[in-house]
Amino acid sequence: MARIGRIGWSWDPIQEMERLERDWSDFFSGSGRPSAVKYPPVNVFTGEDDVVITSEIPGVNPEDVDLTVTGDVLTLKGTRRQQELGQGQAWHRRERGYGDFYRTIQLPYNVDSSKVEANYSKGILRISLPRAEADKARKISVKTA
């Protein structure tokens, strides 16, 4: 399992993919349990016609974050840069992780990728993902014969 260590984090893409698949299948089967190792952590808010995802990624440059949406899958990719030490500086303590991150998130429905909006404020990334028109629920009236 990919573990975020105290200094940076190690990452195995194959294991990560397997783990994500497992995590999200757990989530949608209702037995999901948030685990400590996913980065960045996300919260998912579901509405009738859109999904809003918030994620805690403090201290990144928004230009270092890359979002893509394909159908009903959101990919979140980016880099949290390491704080550079100046001349004569030494670390006492390092708890904040840094490095590359990559997550794929299965959304509950197809998204209109042209209407996706994202903003970054106070270290929180907020992504609004409107449901694709063709995918919206329709009420079907039952006719009597």
Partner 1 sequence: MAEVEKSREVKKQEAGGGVATERTRTGRIYMPNVDISEDRDSLTLYADLPGAGDEDVSVTLENDVLTIEAKVSSVKVGDHRLSYAEYGVGDYFRAFTITEPIDRDRIEAKMKDGVLRIVLPKKEEAKPKQIKIQAG
**Is residue 4 part of the contact set for partner 1 (CB under 8 A)?**
yes
**Is residue 9 part of the contact set for partner 1 (CB under 8 A)?**
yes
**Is residue 12 part of the contact set for partner 1 (CB under 8 A)?**
no
Beta-strand relationship, 50-56 and 117-121: unpaired
For 31-56, letters b (16+ CB in 10 Å) and e give eeeeeeebbbebeeeeeeebbebebe
Which amino acid belongs to residue 51?
V
Instruction: Choose between 70 and 82: whose C-beta lies nearer to partner 1.
Output: 82
Cα-only R_g, the chain: 19
Q: What is the spatial distance between Cα 100 and Cα 8, in angstroms, rounded to a whole number?
A: 9
Instruction: Choose between 92 and 138: whose C-beta lies nearer to partner 1.
Output: 92
**Is residue 34 part of the contact set for partner 1 (CB under 8 A)?**
yes
Which amino acid belongs to residue 22?
R
- Identify residues 51-110 at the interface with partner 1 (CB under 8 A): 52, 54, 56-60, 83, 85-97, 108
Instruction: Choose between 59 and 71: whose C-beta lies nearer to partner 1.
Output: 59
Task: Enumerate binding residues for partner 1 (CB under 8 A).
Answer: 4, 6, 9, 27, 32, 34, 36-39, 41-47, 52, 54, 56-60, 83, 85-97, 108, 120, 122-124
